[in-house]
Amino acid sequence: MTTDQIVKAKFSNDDRSHPEEMVGNATDFLMGICNVKILYLSDHTLEVLTYCCKPMPQFNNLIHLTIKTDQDVSWESLPALLKNCPKLETLFFEGLHRKFINCGEEDGCLCKLWEETPTCLSSSPVKILKYPLR
């Protein structure tokens, strides 16, 4: 099987190493699965992507993205990730909390519990957004 034949991937990095130490492995892995249609990312994986120094891979075939969330984990990589998913139709947040990190920052994507559509979502092709609150 080649990486082009992978349809679904689950990337759950629960290693308790410092996120900045996992950058190379995470980026290389994501480059290898960038053709998937369905992707699940854990909260720790999303945090690792915050420290990536390589450009975010382009996920040209991705149509469904599930992101596990945690109130103590940064979301800074989310806008770049969404920007690189041109066919994304469904975005599901698993375990969304009311408390968000980095809300004072300009790119604080999901800070206000959505009085208006966050910029990182309004500029993406997402058609279905699911976010059950805890």
pLDDT digits over 65-90, tens only?
Answer: 998 877 777 777 888 888 899 999 99
Predicted pLDDT at 72: 72
Calculate what percentage of the chain has a pLDDT beyond 90: 15
Predicted pLDDT at 77: 80
Predicted pLDDT at 133: 57
Per the CB < 8 A criterion, the answer to whether 40 and 15 are in contact is no
Local confidence band at 41 (pLDDT 50, 70, 90 cut-offs):
confident
User: Which tokens in the block code for residue 30?
Assistant: 């994501």
Give the chain's mean pLDDT: 70
Please state the length of the chain: 134
The residues, ordered by sequence, that sit 6+ positions from 1 with a Cβ below 8 Å of its Cβ are: none
State the Cα–Cα distance between residues 117 and 122, nearest whole angstrom: 6
Per the CB < 8 A criterion, the answer to whether 126 and 90 are in contact is yes
SS3 131: coil
Residue 104 CA to chain centroid, in angstroms? 20
Least confident of 12-16, 60-64, 75-79, 81-85: 12-16
Specify the higher pLDDT residue, 96 or 126: 126
State the Cα–Cα distance between residues 130 and 15, nearest whole angstrom: 27
User: Which tokens in the block code for residue 19?
Assistant: 């996120």
